[in-house]
């Protein structure tokens, strides 16, 4: 479940969120031992970063609620909160959920 593919070093959870597959994201995030915080080699993004970056709100919310770290930093210096603000805006409920979880 935490195997990485050779091109981007992404896990199955990265692939699920990157493509907006909500049900697959839920299934993988619930697997015992799933690494919710694996940072891909290419950009250092976690599955949460990827979900936010691509605007997949439900995938992002699923990973947050599964217990993903809200503080990890990608190679570009961005945290999940940074991406949430960029993509959804400062007043969006998901951005608020991420901010509240960081406290």
Give the model's pLDDT for residue 53.
97
Could you report the per-residue pLDDT of 74-98, keeping only the tens digit for each? 999 999 999 999 999 999 999 999 9
CA-to-CA dists, residue 60 to 7, 14, 24, 57, 79, angstroms: 23, 11, 12, 5, 13
**Pick the residue with more confidence: 2 or 35?**
35
Could you report the per-residue pLDDT of 18-52, keeping only the tens digit for each? 999 999 999 999 999 999 999 998 899 999 999 99
Query: Is residue 89 a contact partner of residue 64, using CB atoms and an 8 Å limit?
Result: no
Answer whether residue 65 shows pLDDT above 90: yes
d(CA 76, CA 58) in angstroms, rounded, equals 24
CA-to-CA dists, residue 84 to 34, 88, 92, angstroms: 23, 5, 8
pTM here is: 0.94
Domains, the chain, with CATH or none? 12-102 (1.25.40.20)
Residue with tokens 């250092």: 44
pLDDT band at 4 (very low <50, low <70, confident <90, very high): confident
Query: Is residue 13 a contact partner of residue 25, using CB atoms and an 8 Å limit?
Result: yes
Answer whether residue 7 shows pLDDT above 90: no
């Amino acid at each position: 479940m935490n195997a990485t593919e050779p091109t981007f070093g992404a896990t199955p959870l990265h692939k699920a969120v990157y493509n907006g597959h909500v049900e697959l994201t839920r299934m993988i995030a619930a697997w015992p031992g799933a690494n919710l915080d694996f940072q891909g080699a290419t950009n250092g993004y976690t599955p949460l970063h990827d979900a936010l970056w691509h605007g997949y709100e439900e995938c992002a919310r699923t990973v947050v609620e599964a217990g993903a770290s809200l503080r990890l930093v990608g190679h570009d210096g961005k945290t999940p909160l940074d991406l949430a603000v960029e993509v959804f805006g400062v007043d969006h409920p998901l951005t608020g959920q991420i901010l509240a979880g960081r406290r």
